[in-house]
Amino acid sequence: MDQLPNLGREQEMLSIMGLKSIDQLFSNIPDEVRRTEPLPLPPPQSEEEIWRDAQHLLGSNINLDSRPSFLSAGLSRNFVPTMVGMLATRGEFLTSYTPYQAEVSQGMLQAMWEFQTMISELVSLPISNVSMYDASTSAAEAITCAVRVHNKKATQKETIYISELVPPHRMSVIENYVQGAGINIQILKHDQNGHLDIDSASIANGSCAVYVEQPNSFGILDEGLLKLKELIGDNTALIVGVDAVSLGIVSPPGEWGADIVVGEGQPFGIGPTFGGPIYGIFACTDKYIRQMPGRIVGQTHDSNEKMAFTLTLSTREQHIRRHRATSNICSNETLIALMGAMHMSLLGPDGITVLSQRVAASTEVTKKALQSIKGVELVHPNSHNFRDFVIKLPGDSGEAVAFIDSKGVMAGLPLGQWWSEMSSCLLIGCDERTSESDISSLVSAIKEWIKEVEF
Amino acid sequence: MDKGGGILSDIFAFNGSSNAGWSQPKPILSFSQIKETVPKSMLRSIPPAWPRASEPELVRHYTWLSRRNFGIDTGFYPLGSCTMKHNPRVNERIVNLPGIDRMHPLQPEHQIQGILSIFFEMQEMLAICSGMDQVTLQPVAGAQGEFTAMRCIQEFHRERGEGHRNKVIVPDSAHGTNPASASMCGYEIIEIPSGKDGRIDLDALQSVVGDDTAAMMITNPSTLGVFEPEIAKASEIVHSAGGQMYYDGANFNAIIGKTDPGMMGFDAVHYNLHKTFSQPHGGGGPGSGPIGVKAHLAKYLPTPLASRRKLNDSDAEGVGDGFWYSWVTPEKTIGKVQQWHGNAGAVVRCWAFYRRYGRELERMSEHAVLNANYLRYKIMNPDPEVASNIHAMPLDGAPTDFVMHEFTLSMIQLKDKVGITGKDIAKRLLDYGVMAPTLYFPMIVPECLMIEPTETESKEVLDQFAKDFLNILTEDPEIVTTAPHTTDVGRVDEVWAARNLILRHPGNNTVQD
């Protein structure tokens, strides 16, 4: 209640208007839809009481930093530089709306133009938008965008191909987003090594798009994908989902034929935040520019020929095109993208390389350590992995995770949650902060569990 | 570059030595071993050409940028339809707690009882305020909420064997996201004209409904800020044709505790937490767009929902309120619209905001409506001496005795008389240190300015705005039509931007002296 500057001055304001009560202002609401009972909610609280309750409730959660954790599955247990939160929450950024009035929004517009440049550099494609909601909606809207561009020439009309290893929650988002456009989803198979069955991939030639991930959801870097564009041809969009951090050491998809690159931006800028707010990366070649979703900032000049920035290509958007818009997106994740830009600029070209190396190193060391445990098998022993890899346990991995949790270690994601046939498999996620001591805690907890199940 | 700019202005001009940047721990393997982890043909050869800068340089760059940006904290922000209210700062402090910032959405239930209890409380609170039966917090923006609800409605019709219902009705004054969201679900859009007073034309509605009607999407109060008194009749017309009623909650700030979409006959509603419940807009997002539905649509909602039961003896202690919280999956769920559980950080901020009002949320809407009516009165009733100098008065966008939380003004008389457009007024207001109102929306009002002061502005701010606004109407048209004059840049050439499409920095080499 302390957010109302005019509390107690209602009568003064009403009398200026020649009114007696606030009720008069609501007199256009007919009685039959007028609420008469007060809301059955608790009484108002002060800031101090709210802070107390927040500390109590959120303090009862067990957070990833409080123990060794190998739970990743698409989000990163990153370290965000202190500068990022402090600068992004400056009120001028935090409390601004979409920069429709360019003359008083040059700060955010320029920061987003810089963000577009950094994403463009990262994935090696010329165009980036100002963010999507998350990696999944980016992938989904990349697909609908590609169908709009390619359907006319496609021999497999309204058809797209998706890797079978796209995780189920992302598949579900994609299905919801594409069904309205009548898009037919076909599945691309993978072999025993977790690699795309490249020999069969040319079946997608003539369709509107192919969506694959590099690394895939098992963390596997798949060399075969480098040949994919050649197989599917110019008139089928190659859409690649990336782990953004991997691109410090792994070649960017723009260099091996990707037409659209999407991915989760979260590792740059914000903690895992229980899954949101995070932001989706969306970058593409010139061909898609008039069909792509989301806000875009362009450079221009003002009436005095001074350099300036503004939102551009708005004629694609819902507020102008209404039901013919390329997407319904309006609010996006600009502030989180700003945090991402700050984080990326602080890393620089050398920092992203080191960050990427750190994740690769942790992945490799953890993999070697778990492989040496008797009873643990690597599911893809011949693969190159970044961040994630899969192990097979002698028993149900959900039970293993619960046991290991009781020893104070988060062991990863029981893959039975995603694919029921993988109920003995565990997805281990590593990150730049994984330490030797985290790894040895995981190793001893797994050993202990194996001892338990073997008796 | 301009004031204070210089070396601060171009981030890509920073190109220090490689060891000047931000430091981090070394990898736990040697470089040659790391190289082995990536197939040779896949190693990146050239790193991204990001800036190479130190923290001191970057803090100045971003502080410089922030000073070239206008937020609610900078000044009055009467952007209609966007509900730019003050954002309480404790909310930002709360989301920095590790119990939200360092949480993973796939953690087991016993590790997330606190956050689940906040989700549950928010679901319940939003259901109570809107007269709905079940709420999901998963959609991350209003537009995604619309899309999610239309998907649920689509599945509802399909399951009843009425999948042929393929048309969604929207008034011509609707937000652009309404038709865009329905269209993404595959629906055909039927736009119906509003009456002269901006209100719904029931005859027009009656003439378009039929056995192909899937739903109607409407906001109330309308985008003109007018409460639609015949809303219950509109619901009846749509329902008797077998369609569903969808409430766009963009204007929810006007009615909490006074009426609710359930009473008006709606089946589904989205809330803009970033409007009504103060999630900061952050230059365009993050938002949060939960939806609420009546019982017959609840089984289609996205998965999962927060639920609770009384604690058992075998349970761990929970959060101390006697309940155990868990995730549940609706029986015929449409699946996911966001990858995880929505914008949890926004949900927590808005929980903290709602707790400030609790059962007094009604006061918030009262003050939003009081402020809007007061400002409208002050603008439309200038002192005689001021009035005598005004080129032409604005016209009310909707002839109604009282508006709700916002109002529209048509500047058509001013344009006809002295050539000053709505856009000119908007740009000139920037010179007075306030944000411009929403411009040229809704489209049914010519030369429209849409003004929403929100409840967090004092009487003095409203008085000053009315004074400045009226003063602009007396100014030399030459000054107004060339505004703004005192901002960081002058009027920006948007056409040039769209023709030339310079969408990224050209790279380090071209910017160095």
| Separation CA B486–CA A384 (nearest Å) | 57
CA distance between the termini of chain B: 13
Pair B344, B100: CB distance under 8 Å: yes
Average pLDDT, chain A: 96
pLDDT for the residue numbered B1: 40
Interface of A with B in 101-130 (CB under 8 A): 101-108, 110-114, 116-118, 120-122, 126-128, 130
Let me know if residue B428 belongs to a domain.
Answer: yes
**Which pLDDT does position B378 carry in this prediction?**
98
Query: Which of A435, A405, A422 is CA-nearest to residue B107?
Result: A405
**Chain A contact present for B316, CB below 8 A:** no
Cα gap B227→A96, rounded to integer Å: 28
- Same domain? For A372 and A427 the reply is yes
Q: What is the pLDDT of residue B55?
A: 93
* Residue B41 exposed, middle or buried by CB count within 10 Å (0-12, 13-18, 19+): exposed
A-contacting residues in B 95-114 (Cβ below 8 Å): 95-108, 111-114
Q: Does residue A224 sit in the same domain as residue A340? A: yes
Last residue of a domain, one of A308, A329, A344: A344
Question: For residue range B46-78, what is the model confidence (pLDDT) as tens digits?
Answer: 999 999 999 999 999 999 999 999 999 999 999
- What is the DSSP secondary structure assignment for residue A410, as one 8-state letter? B
The shortest C-alpha distance from A157 to chain B (Å) reads 17
How many CB contacts within 8 angstroms connect chain A with chain B?
A: 693
Q: Cα–Cα distances in Å, from A78 out to A268, A271, B484? A: 8, 6, 43
B222 φ/ψ angles, rounded to the nearest 5 degrees: -70, 175
Structural element, H or E, at residue A261? strand A260-264
**Tens-digit pLDDT profile for residues A423-436:** 999 999 999 999 99
Q: Is B43 part of any domain? A: yes
Q: Do B493 and A308 touch (CB under 8 A)?
A: yes
pLDDT at B457 over 50: yes
User: Which residue, B48, B67, B86, sits at the end of a domain?
Assistant: B67
- Residue span of the structural domain in which B472 resides: 361-496
Q: A18 lies in a domain? A: no
**Cα dihedral B137, B141, B147, B150 in deg (nearest 10):** 50
pLDDT exceeds 90 at position A319: no
pLDDT attached to residue B5: 59
pLDDT at B427 over 90: yes
What is the rounded average pLDDT of the residues A406-415?
97
For residue B3, pLDDT over 60 is answered with: no
A-contacting residues in B 117-146 (Cβ below 8 Å): 117-118, 125, 128-129, 140-144, 146
Residue numbers in A near B226 (CB within 8 A): 28
* B28 alpha carbon, distance to own chain's centre: 44
Last residue of a domain, one of A344, A374, A402: A344
- Give the integer Cα–Cα distance in Å for B391 and B401: 25
For residue B426, the model assigns a pLDDT of 97
Overall number of domains in chain A: 2
Q: Residue B37 and residue A104: Cβ atoms within 8 Å?
A: no
Same domain, A339 and A423: no
Together in a domain, A267 and A405: no
Per-residue model confidence as pLDDT tens digits over A76-99: 999 999 999 999 999 999 999 999
Instruction: Compute CA distances B31 → A46, A147, A358, B35, whole Å.
Output: 54, 42, 10, 6
pLDDT band at A184 (very low <50, low <70, confident <90, very high): very high
Question: What kind and span of H or E run contains B325?
Answer: strand B323-328
Residue type at A94?
A: L
Does residue B113 lie in a domain region? no
Cα distance from A323 to chain B (closest Cα, Å)? 4
All residues of chain A having their beta carbon less than 8 Å from the beta carbon of residue B236 are: none
| Shared-domain flag, residues A320 and A414 | no
- Domain identity same for A289 and A316: yes
Higher pLDDT, A319 or B467: B467
Q: Helical H runs in A333-435?
A: 334-371, 397-406
- Let me know whether A356 and A335 are in one domain: no
The CATH number given to whatever domain includes residue A376 is 3.90.1150.10
Whole-number Cα distances in Å, B162 to B165, B190, B211, B225: 6, 18, 9, 35
Of B67, B91, B116, which residue is a domain's last? B67
- ipTM of this predicted complex? 0.97
- Distances in Å between the alpha carbon of A276 and those of A265, B130, B342? 11, 24, 6
**CATH number, domain containing residue A193:** 3.40.640.10
Q: Is residue B133 part of a domain?
A: no
Q: Write down which residue in B67, B87, B108 finishes a domain.
A: B67
Chain B positions touching A308 (Cβ under 8 A) are 489, 492-493
Per-residue pLDDT at B18: 67
User: Considering the domain boundaries, does residue A233 fall inside one?
Assistant: yes
pLDDT for residue A71 is more than 50: yes
Whether B442 is covered by a domain: the verdict is yes
Q: Which of A284-298, B276-290, B307-321 has the lowest mean pLDDT?
A: B307-321
Residues 6+ apart with CB under 8 A from A244: A122, A263, A264, A265, A267, A268, A281
Q: Which residue of A has its CA nearest to B456?
A: A4
Close Cβ partners of B506 (under 8 Å, ≥ 6 residues apart) = none
Does the pLDDT value for residue B2 go beyond 50?
no
The 8 Å CB, 24+ separation contacts for B305-309 are: B305/B123, B305/B134, B305/B136, B305/B329, B305/B330, B306/B116, B306/B119, B306/B120, B306/B123, B306/B137, B307/B120, B308/B116, B308/B117, B308/B120
Reported as a pLDDT band with limits 50, 70 and 90, residue B513 is: very low
CB contact under 8 A, A348 and B50: yes
Residues A269 and A415 in one domain: no
Residues of B in contact with A55 (CB under 8 A): 97
In a domain, A111, yes or no: yes
pLDDT at B167: 98
Give the rounded distance of the alpha carbon of B151 from its chain centre. Answer: 20
Cβ contact, residue pair B459, A12, below 8 Å: yes
Check the CA dihedral B214-B220-B223-B224 and report its sign. positive
Q: Are residues A339 and A371 in the same domain?
A: no
The sheet with strand A127-128 has its strands ordered as: A127-128, A280-284, A260-264, A237-243, A209-214, A159-163, A184-188
Beta bridge partners of A238: A210
Residue A46 lies in a domain: no
Angle at A8 between CA A7 and CA A10, to 5 degrees: 85
Q: What is the DSSP string of A432-449?
A: TT--HHHHHHHHHHHHHH
Q: Are residues A339 and A448 in the same domain?
A: no
3 state DSSP class of B45: coil
End residue of a domain, out of A344, A378, A398: A344
Which of B50, B120, B236, B252 is the best mutation test for A, with the most CBs of A within 10 A? B50
The range of the structural domain enclosing residue A116 comes to 82-344
Are A165 and A99 within one domain?
yes
Question: Which of B103, B231, B301, B341 has the highest number of chain A CBs within 10 A, making it the mutation to test binding with A?
Answer: B103
Residue B216 lies in a domain: no
Q: B80-98 pLDDT, tens per residue?
A: 999 999 999 999 999 999 9
Q: CB distance from B488 to chain A under 8 Å?
A: yes
* Within-domain flag for A4: no
Q: Does A134 touch chain B (CB under 8 A)?
A: yes
Do A262 and A373 share a structural domain?
Answer: no
| Global model pTM greater than 0.90 | yes
Q: Kindly state whether A26 is in contact with chain B, defined as any CB-CB distance less than 8 angstroms.
A: yes
The verdict on residue B125 lying in a domain is no
**Predicted pLDDT at B419:** 97
Is the pLDDT reported for residue B450 higher than 80? yes
Question: Is B31 a domain residue?
Answer: yes
- Banded model confidence at residue B19, pLDDT cuts 50, 70, 90: low
How many residues are given for chain A?
A: 455
For residue B16, pLDDT beyond 80? no
Q: How many residues does chain B have?
A: 513
Helices (H), B217-360: 231-240, 261-264, 273-276, 295-298, 344-357
The set of residues, in sequence order, having a beta carbon less than 8 Å from that of B384 and lying 6+ positions away, is: none
Contact between A51 and B93 using a beta-carbon 8 Å cutoff: yes
Nearest to A121 among B21, B48, B66 (CB): B48
Comparing CB atoms, the residue among B66, B342, B367 nearest residue A4 is B367
Rounded distance, CA A140 to CA B510, Å?
36
For tokens 């199940």, name the residue.
Answer: A453
The count of domains in chain B is: 2
**Mean pLDDT of the B166-186 span:** 94
